[in-house]
Amino acid sequence: MQFVHEALRNKHKDELVWIVGADPTVADLPKDFLDDKLSIVLGDAQKVFQNGTYNYNNEWKTVAEFGLDHPEYLARQHIWAYPFFAMSPRESREFVAAREVERVWHLNYRSYPPRDKRDDILGHMGYDAMVELVHKAIQGDAGPYGGFATCLHCALYSAILMGCDAILIVACSHRIIDGYFKPAELGGKRLSPGVIAKMENRWSRYAERGTRAIMEGCRKEGIGISRWDGGSL
């Protein structure tokens, strides 16, 4: 197995990278948006942008779905969590081996740094750990690196490990927009008020606080970072 902190260390030194998610604003982007851009594409956005530089996934289910329906998907460049979320290391190795993917690198992954306790991000312990991981990524540390409820966090650490010194985050607002978590074009369905309230109280809070921690860490280290959540680019 090849790991990001070894095989891709500083591969994109001092480059600008676009990280693209799949919140409802992704529907506003043209299909050729990533042409001639260094990019990391997350989750369902991989259905929209087939020309991204790297695809990032924490969850094996996404890879299984895309790989089954679109064999050419596995020929792209991938960064996958190791182990995958809710998989053991052995299960992750067997899953990867069964797919015969030639261009895949792995991020040493732990779900919720530093203790695998989800609520840590709401206090100083989890937040400070996310900030500190930015410094570790710059140093090429093996990790593990974690994300609170979103692939975005691990994609950010991957970009830092690869040496990027400017990061633009697109369509990763961690918000429910007009009742949708993801656009209808990607299978999104309008959520009920009760579901929205639950997601905003849990998932959105965790994801947003983790993103802010990483952005703070980047700014402390002199890495340019900004986020677009809709409107004109």
CB proximity list for 51: less than 8 A, separation 6 or greater: 32, 34, 35
pLDDT of residue 233: 56
Instruction: Report the CATH fold assignment for 4-228.
Output: sialyltransferase cstii, chain A (3.90.1480)
Alpha carbon of residue 137 to chain centroid? 15
42 in the Ramachandran plot: left (φ > 0), alpha (ψ -120 to 50) or beta? beta
Give the tokens for residue 27. Answer: 């529907």
pLDDT of residue 186: 81
- Give the DSSP letter of residue 157: H
Domain ranges of the chain: 4-228
Tens-of-pLDDT digits for all 233 residues of the chain? 999 999 999 999 999 999 999 999 998 899 899 999 999 999 899 988 988 999 999 999 888 887 766 778 888 999 999 999 999 999 999 999 988 788 999 999 998 999 999 999 999 999 999 999 999 999 999 999 998 879 999 999 999 999 999 999 999 988 888 888 888 788 888 889 898 888 887 889 999 999 999 999 999 999 999 998 766 55
